[in-house]
Structure 1
Amino acid sequence: MKLPVPSDATMSEQIDPFTVGGTLFHAAKRFPDHDALIYSGRKASYVGLLEHAIDRARGLIGLGVKPGDHVGVLMPNCWDYVILYYAINLIGARAVLLNARYRPDDLAYVIPKAHIRHLFIGGQAYRHCDYRPMLTGVFPGLSDWTGGPLQLDAAPALHQVIELGDPREGAWPKDAAVEQAAANVTRDAVLAAARAVSPDDIGMMIFSSGTTSRPKACMLTHLSLSQMGAAVAERFALTPQDRLWDPLPLFHMSTMLPMAACRSAGACFIGMDHFDGDTAMALLITERPTVHYAGFPTIISALVTHPDFAKYDQSRLRINHVVGPTDLLRRYGALFPGAVAVNSYGLTEATGVPCYSALDDPEDLLYETSGALFDGMEARILDEDGKEVPHGTPGEICLRGFGIFAGYYDDPDATAAAVTPEGWLHTGDLGRIGPGGRLIYDGRLKDMLKIGGENVAAVELESFLMTHPAIRMAQVIGVPDDRLMEVAAAYIELNPDTEMTEDEVVRHCVGAIASYKIPRYVRFVESWPMSATKVQKFELRQTFEPAGKIDVAAYTRKGA
């Protein structure tokens, strides 16, 4: 059945075009029949996507979700995730996107920290990642909860948990409860809620690790999300004929930002429930996207080494976005000869990625720089004394402009430490201003790892490792990895008269922390290279030898 195009009256009734919901309404008006979303084997036009979001928003209102409520989303990539994200934003609630790879230790912290009131969990992939036992283990009061208001001492704000897409029987409210709640809520109620949303309201919260022991919830406004999406669409020259393939996680700005760009231009977003080389190659051969937003070498490597890569018709592909070492990017560029190799630099605190290569940049600059910042964003480089240095000189990257986040939720001290009164964000990253004002990223100043694109504070892993009774002290560094770009290497000093093996270290981690955080290398030490008061981690890095890498996947396959 052909869905009706939203009328001019509906579109103009104060639904602000600089809100997430507003961008979807306006896309449905401008590009009603264009493909908007391909996900989980399903497809929707822009007007169809809007109607799906409105229907889900009716259910949210019926469940008691109110403007400003924190709605947690703990789900694997799937169609329902995208629809739920839009529905949350339509009614002015805050979408708190939780890392789908979080494990009990993480969930015990982030759910109460973010004051999540309504938690949606996805059961589509329960065979690989079952959130039920995780949540009941962390919050025992959920074990016998069958609905109604929750009362959990460890998460006092949490009001309800709803399971979506789980084929198993269960006591918690499921899809049917959402549909039943929607029956008593009109479409007009959703439109009224959408009209009340301001561009300056918080639309999304994503946890980002800093130098503290725990991640912090970055607050992003509707305005920064919409403006950054429009800027990406302009930099990529997106049109309604574009089809952007992005297999990355939906709890990350590497999907939410390209999706915003697609809304701005009427392009189609093609996602994946779970990335694997076979499924990705088949999807690319069938859909023939114009833009790859693969992001990381791990993804591209799986494509170019696939036996069917030669069958992939790249004639429509015009952009291949991936970040990584210069030599590696050059090699990938040769394998996608008709596409511009777009590089970038970004972080969640800057609404994702405020800096991409231009499509007409000279080839050398495509591979060697991260491109120029968008108009309305600016960068400066500071030395150790906080003084600005000349172009070409390395120092800390500081950013200012429309994309700077609204702060860390419930953490004014951390916000004040990150953003100056003049609006400059201290990124903790090392870089330079290169030719033509382009940014060059040189690494991290913070004691933080970037594992497969995910920021992980070293002290977070160190704190967890030291919960084992045999471990006296742990220090974690990031070391290069062909697949994940960087992985954790743990240096461990044991308590006197105790023994421990690498196997026991890994078993301590499996099932308790996210698998990507588990150290791939373990080194036992009896002394540390010290300054007056601190371990000299640079010496650990200098002396590290990449021998004895641990196969963490083997432990998870065995169910250890």
Structure 2
Amino acid sequence: MAATSDDGESFALIFSEWSEVAPLADLLIRSAARHPDRHALVMPDLTLTYAELRDASIEIARGIIGLGLAPRAHVGILANNSRELVTALFGAALANCVAVPLNARHKSRELGFIIENADLALILTTAADTRFVDFRSVLAEALPSLGTSAPGAPLALAEAPLLRGVVVLEGDAPAGFLSRADFVAAAQAVPVSAVDAARRATRLRDTAFIIYTSGTTANPKGCLLCHEAVSRGPVERASSRFRAREHDVTWGGGPLFHIGSLAPFIGVIGTGGTYVTDVFFDAGRALDLMERENVSVAWPWFPAILQPLLDHPAFDPGRLAAWRKVLLIAPPALVNRVQQTFPEAEFMQACGMTETAGIFALCAPDETPEQRAVSQGKPVPGIAVKIIELESGEEAAADVVGEILVRGYCVMDGYYRSPEKTAEALDAEGWLHTGDLYARAADGQLTFHGRAKDMLKVGGENVAAIEVEAYLCSHPAVKLAEVVGRPDPRLDEVPVAFVELRPGKSASEEELIAFCQGRIASYKVPRAVFFMNDGEWPMSATKVDKRALRARH
């Protein structure tokens, strides 16, 4: 007879899920042992089985050790989604080193800061695909002393004193760089058993990644994310909440240097699934790839990825008929549209950020389509949240907008080499002060209200930019809207909107302002509308850079 508690709850039903937490490299080793011939990574012109991914990653680890890097050394990785990127990520983990994924959009100034700030001992990059950017040129500009280094001599760069080398894993290596042949030669001196010894020495609370996030500060901040933080939640959810069938094929449209794509990729590898992606996002290529690979789980995440899929001339819901689980963060009108377009799929919104290694809250299975359109779910198991009032710092009542705080295994250990920023973000009780604005309903549902930095103060009234953006997006001609504050001598600041229109649609500034008047409070109505074309938006990895929009004023 099954045991029950005094109030009749079943022990077996409650204790029906558990975590199998492992260091990052062990996820790959385990899945390669269980599914050696299954595809781990699929791209338009590339497939890697688990055995191939394991073996290629081991060779990267041998090279890292062969170049003299000690355990816990920091390895920078600058590449677009590719064989080189994923093998470098796992190669660093196998060598018991810390991977530092570098944003492929960063320019030389930003990279130069991160290379020095992160204490990088090695950089792994590629020149396999230079259609968009030649990483060798960007790195040479970020490290001006690199090209003057004597061939074969140890690096001694004033701008990066700990850096031992920059390896081009694929493509030609200019002066100062190490070639693939140099790297392979270093690897050959290291027995495979040395990699296994390094892997087995890794602890769950060791730092797995340092991921730099721009936020609102002048320089990026390096989030210290341990192995437990980056693997436990993604693998647990991939094995249960996101599972659609025994062998899921998961598509991710974003770059793997971003936590929004890296976390689901880790979940896929940890559960023996197949991850499908591309070097870059193109809606037509993505539709072809998802149809070809029979994708069951999709992570379009943001409107900038999801909207082009739906608006593409070749879009047909039947091409994505295998979709069963879809993760996104989008305004209600877009969520409603996709839920109606794909009635067989479960659409889930979520809360997440780099500092929490991805998701910390998620839609529950029993939520209605209406709830999924307007809210971001509830905290995931094992993670605590609370919302505090902006003025008093006291815990907010139900439905009151305040800053959301997060505590639990997913939270970063701090910002690297930045004790003052760490102290601002993490309090003495372990709560992460996110800077995100949320309200929590009486039933626990969380609703996002933008960033605290996106809260405008118009004549003493608080205006959440996201509220105005969502309303503008309900106009049939508006594809994307971003609202920022413009300085005003009388009201301190006033809202202005940047808008991209749907293809084939038209609307004037006067029309969009009139659309808002009488429907939202007068102080929330944009005072000006600036039109943007596709491709003109200043972007971070996956989001519009509002700092750049504000700078236009």
1:190 aligns with 2:150: no
**Aligned match of 1:357 in 348, 363, 368?**
363
**Aligned match of 1:547 in 496, 506, 530?**
530
Alignment of 1:119-518 (within 5 A): 119-145=123-149, 146-167=151-172, 172-233=177-238, 234-237=240-243, 240-310=246-316, 312-383=318-389, 384-434=391-441, 436-446=443-453
Q: Report the secondary structure of 2:394's partner residue.
A: coil
Q: Report the secondary structure of 1:27's partner residue.
A: helix
CA contact (8 A) 1:326 1:367 kept: yes
Instruction: Quote the Cα distance in structure 1 between the aligned partners of 2:62 and 2:279.
Output: 25
C-alpha displacement of 1:553: 4.9
Instruction: Quote the Cα distance in structure 2 between the aligned partners of 1:488 and 1:410.
Output: 33
CA 1:127–1:28 in structure 2 vs 1: closer, same or farther (change >3 Å)? Answer: closer
Q: Report the secondary structure of 1:143's partner residue.
A: helix
C-alpha displacement of 1:31: 3.2
Q: Report the secondary structure of 1:214's partner residue.
A: coil
CA contact (8 A) 2:485 2:495 kept: no
CA 1:231–1:393 in structure 2 vs 1: closer, same or farther (change >3 Å)? Answer: farther
CA 1:433–1:488 in structure 2 vs 1: closer, same or farther (change >3 Å)? Answer: closer
C-alpha displacement of 1:486: 6.0
C-alpha displacement of 1:269: 0.9
CA 1:377–1:551 in structure 2 vs 1: closer, same or farther (change >3 Å)? Answer: closer
CA contact (8 A) 1:418 1:427 kept: yes
Instruction: Quote the Cα distance in structure 1 between the aligned partners of 2:41 and 2:445.
Output: 33
User: AA paired with 2:378?
Assistant: A
Instruction: Quote the Cα distance in structure 2 between the aligned partners of 1:435 and 1:239.
Output: 34
Structure 1: 5+ residue runs without aligned partners?
A: 1-15, 450-476, 492-526, 556-560
TM-score normalised by the chain length of structure 2: 0.79
Instruction: Quote the Cα distance in structure 1 between the aligned partners of 2:402 and 2:380.
Output: 21
Instruction: Quote the Cα distance in structure 1 between the aligned partners of 2:199 and 2:430.
Output: 29
Task: Name the residue aligned to 1:529.
Answer: 489
Aligned residues between the structures: 475
CA contact (8 A) 1:284 1:312 kept: no
CA 1:98–1:490 in structure 2 vs 1: closer, same or farther (change >3 Å)? Answer: farther
Deviations 1:422-454 (CA, angstroms, capped at 9, x unpaired): 1111111110113532221111113599xxxxx
C-alpha displacement of 1:311: 7.3
Deviations 1:259-311 (CA, angstroms, capped at 9, x unpaired): 12113322111121111122112111211100111111122222222232227
User: AA paired with 1:215?
Assistant: P
Instruction: Quote the Cα distance in structure 1 between the aligned partners of 2:322 and 2:531.
Output: 43
CA 1:49–1:486 in structure 2 vs 1: closer, same or farther (change >3 Å)? Answer: farther
Q: Report the secondary structure of 1:229's partner residue.
A: helix
1:86 aligns with 2:69: no
Instruction: Quote the Cα distance in structure 1 between the aligned partners of 2:127 and 2:168.
Output: 7
Aligned-residue RMSD, C-alpha = 2.9
Task: Name the residue aligned to 1:37.
Answer: 41
User: AA paired with 2:262?
Assistant: M
CA 1:484–1:87 in structure 2 vs 1: closer, same or farther (change >3 Å)? Answer: farther
TM-score normalised by the chain length of structure 1: 0.78
Q: Report the secondary structure of 1:440's partner residue.
A: strand
Q: Report the secondary structure of 2:268's partner residue.
A: helix
CA contact (8 A) 2:302 2:330 kept: yes
Same amino acid, percent of matched pairs: 31
**Aligned match of 1:62 in 46, 61, 66?**
66
C-alpha displacement of 1:528: 4.8
